[in-house]
Amino acid sequence: MSPNDTIAACATPVGYSSIAVVRLSGGGVFEIVKKIFRPQPGVVDFKANRVYFGDFYDPEKKCIIDKILLTTFFAPHSYTGEDVVEFSCHGNPLIVERILGVLVSQGARIARRGEFTKRALLNGKIDLIQAEAVLDTVYAPCEQARRIALAQYEGKLSEWVYNLRARIVDLLFLIEASLDFSEEEDTSLDELKTQKILQELVDDLEEILKGAETGIKIKEGYQILIMGRTNVGKSTLFNRLVGFERAIVHPEPGTTRDYIEEDIEFAGIFVRLYDTAGFFSKAKGVDFKAVQKTHSLIEQADLILLMFDGSEPLNEEDINLYNLTKNRRKLQVVNKIDLNFRIGQNGLLSDSIKISAKSGENIDLLIANIKRMLLPKNVEQQVLITRMRHIEILKSVRGFLKNALNAQTLETVAFELYTALNRLGELTGQVMRKEILDRIFEEFCIGK
């Protein structure tokens, strides 16, 4: 089928809602619109970027399906780069079905997953990184992820890649010139200069790859473990952070056995929070099992909230726990500050945060500290990568540039640089491989 055939899909979720939006894009949009849309009197022709009120009409059954708003976009100034209209109809699945049925009977076909965005890519409206960012914008699980997705959609990461690309091209140009006219002095490239440029490129790649871990975590979620001996108030804090009575809280020690987890967003970060069984070294039977379960989570946690009971003196169990988690990123949290303060002063509590999980006192402070520990300081200014596909490509580009650094001849340097450029092209979509495109657009929903 021609790439310019006309595609239709509902862009809003299936179900009852105040409105639903059906999109139509392609070469035959306005021919179809003329047959199925009856604007209110006075409208003679359609202009770009306007909204028209009128009837959606079924020309075969000769009846009105719904009163709608029609929004117009003319090629190339639309999302897909083609003529596009959006029908805002009442949000009833029956109406949407009828509208799509009429559009198909008038020559459109139902769009495949992500096909609108794919057309935007093929028509040069956006590059592949931006297409992926569209998806990330729709599915961002937290404020930070939304911010990064938007930055990528606006082209921040692409810009970074194009800049790297331009620097490689410049270097190649110098090398080629030097190879072609090696006798002429002013074009000859000295080895030190090549090495210096290559090293700068490698350094920049190292830096962006270093930030990738943060990017992936922001998108996929940080794991935070609440730990402490029995009864210090772990489940009380857990419930407070998740915002409802998820875990049982009880004055008796040993209440929580299996760990409990909830996905939440706080301070703009997406987090999987775990409440665990109270830890004690001489646990037996089912308590021992519970402690083992907690143990299994320590390694994978991005942050441990190690809790202490401020109303009791620090004891051996507390110290054991502190030592057990010594090499992990953690925050000491002294709980129950609404009671008499008996825990005393101890070096290991010197930078602890004092809270009352029960009353909520200082929870804001705790959250601010969690954010400070998880997110790098300048995260808002950083260009972050958030996809394995990007990481893999940039790692391989770094590999080619390192090969170039170690190459013996300028010809080999040039060869490695060409290979690096090719890989970078895959990142932005200048080099397109069908299976990669298919995999990316499979993740989209229909209508996007």
Could you give the CA distance from residue 339 to residue 73 in angstroms, rounded to a whole number? 65
3-state secondary structure of 69: strand
Q: Is 335 near ligand GTP (CB under 6 A)?
A: yes
- Quote the Cα angle for 304-307-308, to 5°: 150
**234 near ligand GTP (CB under 6 A):** yes
The residue among 64 and 339 lying less far from ligand GTP, judged by its C-beta, is 339
Q: Name the binder of 356 from Mg ion, ligand GTP, none, CB < 5-8 A by kind.
A: ligand GTP
Site for ligand GTP in 345-404 (CB under 6 A): 356-358
Q: Whole-number minimum distance, CB 444 to Mg ion, in Å? A: 41
- Could you give the residue ranges of the DSSP H alpha helices within 181-250? 191-220, 234-242
CA dihedral 50, 53, 58, 61 (to 10 degrees): -160
Residue 146 β-bridge partners = none
Q: Which of 72, 117, 214, 256 binds Mg ion (CB under 5 A)?
A: 256
In sequence order, which residues have a C-beta less than 8 Å from that of residue 117 and are 6 or more positions away?
79, 126, 131, 134, 135, 441, 444, 448
Q: Judged by CB, which is closer to ligand GTP: 3, or 253?
A: 253
- Return the one option of ligand GTP, Mg ion, none that residue 216 interacts with (CB less than 5 to 8 A, by type): none
CB of 20 or CB of 260, closer to Mg ion: 260
- Binding-site member from 255, 311, 403, 419 for Mg ion (CB under 5 A): 255
Using CB under 6 A, which of 249, 297, 348, 391 touches ligand GTP? 249
Q: Return d(Cα 393, Cα 105) in angstroms, integer.
A: 44
Among all residues, whose Cβ is closest to ligand GTP? 278
On the 0-12 / 13-18 / 19+ scale of CB atoms within 10 A, 276 is: buried
Q: Pick the binder of ligand GTP from 71, 178, 255, 403 (CB under 6 A).
A: 255
CB of 307 to Mg ion, least distance (A): 10
Q: Is 235 in the site for ligand GTP (CB under 6 A)?
A: yes
Among 6, 152, 256, 294, binds ligand GTP (CB under 6 A): 256
294 contributes a contact to Mg ion by CB under 5 A: no
The least distance separating ligand GTP from the CB of residue 361, rounded to whole angstroms, comes to 8
Selection from Mg ion, ligand GTP, none that 232 binds (CB < 5 to 8 A by kind) is: ligand GTP
Q: What would the two tokens of residue 280 be?
A: 């004690």
Q: Can you tell me the distance from the alpha carbon of 353 to that of 130, in angstroms, rounded to the nearest whole number?
A: 41
Dihedral angle, C-alpha 312, 315, 320, 321, nearest 10 °: 0
Is residue 214 a contact residue for Mg ion (CB under 5 A)?
no
* CB contact at 8 A, 359 and 338: yes
Contact 6, 28 (CB under 8 A): yes
Judged by the rule CB under 5 A, the positions of this chain that interact with Mg ion are 234-235, 255-256
Judged by the rule CB under 6 A, the positions of this chain that interact with ligand GTP are 228, 230-236, 249-251, 253-256, 278, 335-336, 338-339, 356-358
